[in-house]
Structure 1
Amino acid sequence: MWKWEADGQAKAVIAILHGAYENHRWYAWLIEKLRMEGFHIVMGDLPNHGVNTGFGRVHDEDFKLYNKYTRNLIENAFSYNLPTFLIGHGLGATLILHTMYKKQYECAGLILTSPWLQLKLLPGKLTNALTSLSTLTANIKMTHPITIEQLTRHVEGREEMKDERPFVSVVTVKWYRELQQMMRNLVFMPKEEFPNVPILMMTAAKDSITETRQTRNWLHQQAFTEFQFKEWENCYHNLFHEVERDEIFMYTRDFLNNGLRRIGYIIE
């Protein structure tokens, strides 16, 4: 877990949860932009991602580890005793939703980009057959055919995704089963049981990885008293790496500042 402190007095803290197969290094641009706006940032790498990568480079980690990590990340952010926002992307957004549903944390707001509630791009040709078979198939490996070119059309954004840890999206049937279960639980959960917290949900019109219609439907079926939905035209899955990311950041910043005004902070 790493912390980047605001340039000057902080007005809030933001915990960031990256997506599947990514690591915190991809978010250097976003971290610096937020830090310069007066936010402390708390972020790390999911289990078996980034610096925590296992020897096999195959994603077979138990989702209980993801859930424990997410709780730890949020509670680290709370240690500042400042208003706390959560930013999650892709699988990270899904994990935030799951954790908020289970733990009911009191946050100033959620910013979720391209959450995985239903996948358009599935791992392996035999996915459905394998996941319906017995536990004997649990360790079978499949490739989730996501490429960096599908994540962003922005050349600079793609460069930020290249580091000493190659992008690997190989998963086991067990991992994919757990992902499916988490997505189903969120889609069908009783809307009254999710905390009524301000939420900004953003999707990409040209996302080839997730079903953005499912995301929109989920949001509109909830009982939130304050929410925003924005679909960015021409964008791919990773919004904060896209050509329009400066505009996307300003939209995000306005949501953050409005959230602080709502709870009595004076934002200049």
Structure 2
Amino acid sequence: MWKWEAEGQPKAVVAIVHNAYEHHSRYAWLIQKFRSAGFHVVTGDLPGHGAEGKRIHDESFDAYVTYVKKLVEVGLDDSLPLFVMGHGLGATIVMRMIQAKKIECAGFIFSSPWLALKHQPPKFSTVLSKLTSSMKINHDISIELLTRNYDLYVEAHQDRHYNSVARASWYKDLQTFMKAVAQYEGTIHNVPILVHIAGSDKIADSSQTKKWLIHQNLSEFQYKEWKHLYHDVFQEPEREEVYLYTEAFMNNVLRSLGYIV
């Protein structure tokens, strides 16, 4: 994992957990925005992802959780308020962690969580019973399904580290993992949460996320649906607006904690 220090006096730390199949380098723009605003940033690649990734995803979800726990520990090392941001499956992993144990964070930011998926691997539902655990499937999530930002298309198609091929066993574990988070009967500890939802999300079912958030009975949360945006809200042409909304949430949380921002 890597750490980027804030430009000037730091006021907080942001730990970023990326989505399935991708890698932390896709967040270069967002990392720089946070640094310019006075936030340290820590992030890295989930096991089996990025430059050290596998050609076929078969990592355990326990390994993902263990990695994110270490990422949070690194974020807490500076003795500054910590915000944990998760996107897609990254958000779901963090949700699962805080269902199991309280994490001493200033707040959480979730974008397009995976609690139920609209986009399934082609023909997956019809062949599920015939798949063995070792067989591979292609989730086939292309850049065109993730964002309307044409400026990113050429770069994305040349990205050797983006890979949506997985073992059938991994995909079945994914379904179980999402269901466990969505149907958890308890509530998390009372901490500020911001949830970004893409109004034109072609990947995730946002209705499950809204149900999850309401069930938590939090005293402070924000739920923002971006009407025309696709799944990767921080990659969209409107990403500056999404970022400013996020920064305002973080600054308000810091003020409530007694920090001058």
Normalising by structure 2, report the TM-score.
Answer: 0.95
1:46-125 map, 5 Å: 46-54=46-54, 57-125=55-123
Whole-angstrom CA distance in 2 between matches of 1:189 and 1:4? 35
What is the DSSP-based 3-state SS (H/G/I as helix, E as strand, rest coil) of the residue aligned with 1:197? coil
Give the deviation of 1:129 after TM superposition.
Answer: 5.0
Give the deviation of 1:156 after TM superposition.
Answer: 2.4
Give the deviation of 1:69 after TM superposition.
Answer: 0.6
Give the deviation of 1:127 after TM superposition.
Answer: 3.9
Whole-angstrom CA distance in 2 between matches of 1:34 and 1:258? 15
Whole-angstrom CA distance in 2 between matches of 1:125 and 1:65? 28
Whole-angstrom CA distance in 2 between matches of 1:157 and 1:199? 29
For 1:120-171, what per-residue CA distance to the aligned partner results, in whole angstroms no more than 9, with x for missing partners?
Answer: 00124134652x57xx811111110211011100122435545552532111
Equivalent AA in structure 2 for residue 179 of structure 1? L
Corresponding position of 1:156: 151
For 1:160-201, what per-residue CA distance to the aligned partner results, in whole angstroms no more than 9, with x for missing partners?
Answer: 545552532111111112111111111111233x12111000
What is the DSSP-based 3-state SS (H/G/I as helix, E as strand, rest coil) of the residue aligned with 2:108? strand
Whole-angstrom CA distance in 2 between matches of 1:21 and 1:81? 32
1:199-210 map, 5 Å: 199-210=193-204
Whole-angstrom CA distance in 2 between matches of 1:98 and 1:60? 19
Whole-angstrom CA distance in 1 between matches of 2:254 and 2:157? 35
Give the deviation of 1:51 after TM superposition.
Answer: 2.0
Q: Given that residues 123 and 145 in structure 1 are in contact (C-alpha distance below 8 angstroms), is that contact kept between their aligned partners in structure 2? A: yes
1:202-241 map, 5 Å: 202-241=196-235
Whole-angstrom CA distance in 2 between matches of 1:51 and 1:253? 30
Equivalent AA in structure 2 for residue 186 of structure 1? V
Corresponding position of 1:186: 181
Equivalent AA in structure 2 for residue 216 of structure 1? K
Aligned-pair identity in percent equals 48
Normalising by structure 1, report the TM-score.
Answer: 0.93
Whole-angstrom CA distance in 1 between matches of 2:154 and 2:34? 20
Q: Given that residues 23 and 162 in structure 2 are in contact (C-alpha distance below 8 angstroms), is that contact kept between their aligned partners in structure 1? A: no
Which ranges in structure 1 are unaligned for 5 or more consecutive residues? none
Give the deviation of 1:25 after TM superposition.
Answer: 0.7
Whole-angstrom CA distance in 2 between matches of 1:222 and 1:140? 38
Whole-angstrom CA distance in 1 between matches of 2:74 and 2:157? 28
Q: Given that residues 60 and 175 in structure 1 are in contact (C-alpha distance below 8 angstroms), is that contact kept between their aligned partners in structure 2? A: yes
- Of the three residues 167, 175, 184, the one matched with 1:172 is 167
Question: Is 1:35–2:35 an aligned residue pair?
Answer: yes
Give the deviation of 1:41 after TM superposition.
Answer: 0.3
Corresponding position of 1:3: 3
Whole-angstrom CA distance in 2 between matches of 1:97 and 1:199? 11
Whole-angstrom CA distance in 2 between matches of 1:7 and 1:215? 34
- Of the three residues 251, 256, 259, the one matched with 2:253 is 259
Moved over 2 A (4+): 126-130, 156-164
Q: Given that residues 116 and 208 in structure 2 are in contact (C-alpha distance below 8 angstroms), is that contact kept between their aligned partners in structure 1? A: yes
Q: Given that residues 127 and 173 in structure 1 are in contact (C-alpha distance below 8 angstroms), is that contact kept between their aligned partners in structure 2? A: no
Distance 1:94 1:170, change over 3 A: same
Distance 1:163 1:81, change over 3 A: farther
What is the DSSP-based 3-state SS (H/G/I as helix, E as strand, rest coil) of the residue aligned with 1:137? coil
Equivalent AA in structure 1 for residue 209 of structure 2? T
Corresponding position of 2:190: 196
Question: Is 1:19–2:23 an aligned residue pair?
Answer: no
Which ranges in structure 2 are unaligned for 5 or more consecutive residues? none
Distance 1:164 1:210, change over 3 A: closer
Give the deviation of 1:222 after TM superposition.
Answer: 1.6
Equivalent AA in structure 1 for residue 48 of structure 2? N
